[in-house]
Structure 1
Amino acid sequence: MSVLTSPKARVWGGFALAAVLLFGVAPAVLSDFRLGLLGKFLCFAIVAAGIGLAWGRGGMLTLGQGVFFGIGAYAMAMHLKVADAQLKGQDVPDFMQIAGATELPGYWRPFASPAVAIVAILVLPALVAFLLGIGVFKRRVKGAYFAILSQALAAAFAILLVGQQTIGGSNGLNRFRTFFGFTLADPANKRMLFFIAAAVLLLSVALIRQLMNSRYGELLVAVRDQEERVRFLGYDPATIKLVAYVVAAFLAGIAGALFVPIVGIISPADVGIVPSLAFLIGVAIGGRATLLGPVLGAIGVAWAQSAFSESFPSGWIYAQGLLFVVVVGFFPAGIAGLVTLVRRRRSPSAAAEPGVAASAAADVPEPVKVP
């Protein structure tokens, strides 16, 4: 095997190609508006990368990622609103002034500090996922029950936000003017946000790849396929699941924080059941158990929604549902799994192994055999 065709070289080559496309080609060929849209899609892709680990490798159908996305987003939004008010010499943000408030609520005050806001973005989603996961996985809640519980959590979170007028209620938080001292109206700063999102996405994919290819990744797949045997061998499946769940929440929180300055608004409509399902649809279509499938699926579905809605505003939801049904019904491994299946069937060596094609068609990757 030559150095250029080794697995390590292909990995580095893939990251190099992605970096060229994101940092060189995209800014050169896309307008500022389209580049902003792509930045928004990259935020969704970061969430999808975490879902790929938790659902694709761990078998946890996470229907509530909008919660962790929303925690990170609201933490960032609260800091930006306080910072904007301070620049104007005001004590409270503009929407609070309209409501007649004269001082910040107590839980808003820490977010005046950029350091506190960044720590909250990084820690709070992971902490909430950790506490929830401890209660769920230690009680061996899994399958449909876990999916329903996570979806109910997303619904409850959105309802809670609607009732909190001190964080914008149903209107959410918007009209941000600065981002850590940089003016958001400046096109150069908007491009900077895109580059930050692109860098975070590449780092997220690298993190997920490292986890998937490690001993932990093998244990995660083993827990998905043979949980009782893993427990019999002395491992705690709850802890293994918990790590994947927390990592997925951590990435979702960062994605939400980047979403706020890129898009310019965060509201309960962005964190409830519908957005959580949209994250999942992109992952399923792309190929949930592969490394790049969730990322490309999330970007592709978001792009299709934007393009389709421009021509047929009311028809996208039907097209999205049809696409999801077709993929789940006929290509359960997603588009990435279909590509893998075609490639393996064309290979004589793979055709001689009937188990390989069956595994690719059913659900990638092959189960880990626990002795």
Structure 2
Amino acid sequence: MTKKPWISLSGIGVFAVLLLAVAPLVLSDHWLNNLGKYCCWAIAAVGIGLAWGRGGMLVMGQGVFFALGAYSMAMHLTLETAGDRVPGFMVLYDPLAPLPMFWEPFRSTGFTLLAIVLLPVVVAGALGYALFKRRVKGAYFAILTQALAVALATLISSTIRETGGDTGLSDFKYFFGFVLNDPANRLMVYLIAATLLIVCLLAVWQFYRSRFGELLVATRDAEERVRFLGYDPANVKLVAFVVSALMASIGGAMFVPIVGIITPAEIGAAASILMIAGVALGGRASLFGPALGAMAVGWGQSSLGSTWPDGWTYILGLLFVVVILFLPNGLSSLPARLMRRQRPGPVEPPAPAIAPAELEEVKS
């Protein structure tokens, strides 16, 4: 094993200590809850880093898979709060209406956990197989995935009686039997989210140093050469796409008990673009860049967005443009650049901001 993987693994260890040991001691309950929310976005961002940074797939519709996990969890928590009764928002529209059939299985804890894992795998597997086998890529792939996020958000907004519509699902009292208002239980939920983020980082670290990781980068940079060597690029990209979708679903599932609400605004095109912006800001091809970038964007949205809601979007846009122009590999590439300037010598060319296969697709 080379030195670089050990450095990355040590970095994950330090990150774990900061999240799991230091943060609960030094942060107030409010900021610890916010940090848990940032961890949920970071989980989804780590998956985007795998699919986009290493696989060259600009996944602009991760809100779809974020929604699958979030609404699966929200439906279970809503039923847990309602008990044997029909959820309150349904009674407002029709006091005598029965519980919809697709809600009933979510009373089960086991079914809910399986849905959080299996739903994104099945949906991403079917979608990815249909697209990658037809060699859909580049801008066409990005637009199509974003269109799916818009369509799903619109569908949920229009089904008020079944999903709560634009107001979403909220007012959760329990989390698998634990009272959410209890500070100890809220700490437990935060620790679960932070632990899942560390596990996702470890999984991606293993992916990057495996033969599959090398094959994924080769598929990004020279897809036709990979096909010529006897590998099917569609299968390689499909695995990365499914893993990315699973991580987005896990992030969405933990987002619900931490934030206490899920609405179509959290899963639509704007939310998906914010995830992409965080990944690009941190550095899409690095291990920690996507997670740290997503957490930074989340902090900006919570802090600056509340005090300056109109200007926050412009700040994010300006920062995104500056990073793309001067740091195409994200803020994670800044330390390496500074070190190279201090020690002049032969410099390796940076990774291309756009994979050659994507560039040919855009030109055509």
Query: Structure 1, residues 160-198: CA drift from partner, whole Å, max 9, x if none?
Result: 111112111111101000000000111111111110011
Q: Look up the match of 1:359.
A: 350
The secondary structure found in structure 2 opposite 1:278 is helix
Query: Partner of 1:161 in structure 2?
Result: 156
Matched, 1:67 2:60: no
Shift of 1:301: 1.4
Residue 280 of structure 1 corresponds to which residue in structure 2? 276
Shift of 1:66: 0.4
Q: Which has the higher contact order (CA 8 A, sep 6+)?
A: 2
For 1:235-292, what per-residue CA distance to the aligned partner results, in whole angstroms no more than 9, with x for missing partners?
A: 0000000000000000000000000000000011110000000000000000000000
Partner of 1:304: 300
CA distance in 2: counterparts of 1:205 and 1:248, whole angstroms: 12
Q: What pairs up with 1:72-91 in 2 under 5 angstroms?
A: 72-86=69-83, 90-91=84-85
- Asked whether the 8 Å contact 1:176–1:261 carries over to 2, the reply is yes
Q: Which residue of 2 aligns with 1:368?
A: none
Q: CA deviation at 1:98?
A: 1.5
* Separation in structure 2 between the aligned mates of residue 11 and residue 326 of structure 1, nearest angstrom: 27
CA gap 1:9/1:138 in 2 versus in 1, 3 angstroms: closer
Aligned match for 1:178, one of 174, 181, 190? 174
- 4+ residue segments displaced more than 6 Å: none
1:105 aligns with 2:96: no
Query: How many angstroms apart in 1 are the aligned matches of 2:332 and 2:122?
Result: 32
1:263 is aligned to 2:259: yes
Q: Which amino acid aligns with 2:128?
A: G
Q: How many residue pairs were aligned? A: 354
- Compute the displacement of 1:25 (Å): 1.3
Which of 113, 126, 129 pairs up with 2:124? Answer: 129
Other structure's SS at 1:105 match: coil
Unaligned segments of structure 1, at least 5 residues: 366-371
- Rounded to whole Å, the distance in 2 between the matches of 1:364 and 1:339 is 22
> Matched residues in 2 for 1:314 and 1:220: separation?
40
The Cα of 1:103 is off from its aligned counterpart by: 1.9
Q: Which runs of 5+ in 2 are unaligned?
A: 356-364
SS state at 2:16 partner: helix
Is residue 226 of structure 1 aligned with residue 217 of structure 2? Answer: no
1:363 to partner: Cα distance: 4.5
**1:8/1:276 Cα in 2 relative to 1: closer, same or farther (>3 Å)?**
closer
Whole-Å separation in 1 of the counterparts to 2:130 and 2:29: 45
1:92 corresponds to which residue? Answer: 86
Q: How does 1:36-47 map to 2 (within 5 A)?
A: 36-47=33-44
State the partner residue of 1:338: 334
SS in 2 for 1:314: helix
Instruction: Say what the alpha-carbon RMSD is for the aligned residues.
Output: 1.8
CA contact (8 A) 2:12 2:198 kept: yes
Paired amino acid for 2:98? E
Structure-2 residue corresponding to 1:29: 26
1:147 to 142, 145, 148: 142
CA shift for structure 1 position 364: 10
Deviation at 1:344, TM superposition (A): 3.2
Partner SS for 1:359:
coil
Q: Which residue of 1 aligns with 2:362?
A: none
Q: Alpha-carbon deviation of 1:339?
A: 2.2
C-alpha distance in 1 between matches for 2:306 and 2:153: 27
Alignment check: 8 A CA contact 2:5 2:209 kept: no
User: Normalised by the size of structure 2, how large is the TM-score?
Assistant: 0.93
Deviations 1:110-167 (A, max 9, x none): 0010000000001101111100001100000000000010111111011111111211
Q: What residue number does 2:207 align with?
A: 211
> When the two structures are superposed, what TM-score results if normalisation uses the length of structure 1?
0.92
Shift of 1:331: 1.2
